[in-house]
Amino acid sequence: MACACVFGGGNGWGRRIAEALEGLSVKTRIIEKDASHVQIVQAIRQSTLVFIAIPDSAINPLLLEYGAMLDGKILIDCATNKAGFAETLQQLAGKGVSVCSTHPMAASTGALRGQNTLIMPVGAAAERAERAARAIYRKLGMHCEPFTFDRHTEAMVILQMLPHLVQRLFIETLGY
């Protein structure tokens, strides 16, 4: 893991991931939404690890456009909602890309030490990506919890959507 690029590395989780990679002595290149096609291609080509920390809805278009360049690379994401790109991740994994999907169970702006992150290997070649994901999140002081990628969406409905809905109802009720 000598060189990495972090899509969305300027803010939020991307920034925290970039800092962790640099703390692991990984040369890290940050790619933001204003990056040109040439800059993106160059960053991917020069990287062993590609970490995606951009809005969930932008991930599938990114993977579709640049997925062919990921052969032999490590690919990790930290999206909350995997539904829009899960199939594409699985296809890339089927082609031999080392893929590990993650879901930090904490806000990027808060203290991370002791917080959990779900580690979800995807496909038969996931070992390198899983190892890299664990190193990154451990550098942030987080606990790495193994989870099944195929069960992520249904679990998040229970763990996130219902509590968020109840909180929204409380907010609305108290607002009147």
How large is the average pLDDT for residues 148-169?
59
How large is the average pLDDT for residues 37-51?
97
Q: Which residues contact 32 (CB under 8 A, 6 or more apart)?
A: 8, 9, 10
pLDDT score, position 171: 60
- What distance, in Å, lies between the first and last C-alpha atoms of the chain? 53
Q: Which residues contact 159 (CB under 8 A, 6 or more apart)?
A: none
pLDDT score, position 25: 95
Among 10-24, 26-40, 122-136, 159-173, name the one with the lowest average pLDDT: 159-173
Helix, strand and coil percent figures for the chain, each rounded to 5: 50, 20, 30
pLDDT score, position 121: 96
Query: 50, 73 in Cβ contact below 8 A?
Result: yes
Query: 22, 47 in Cβ contact below 8 A?
Result: no
Query: 15, 108 in Cβ contact below 8 A?
Result: yes
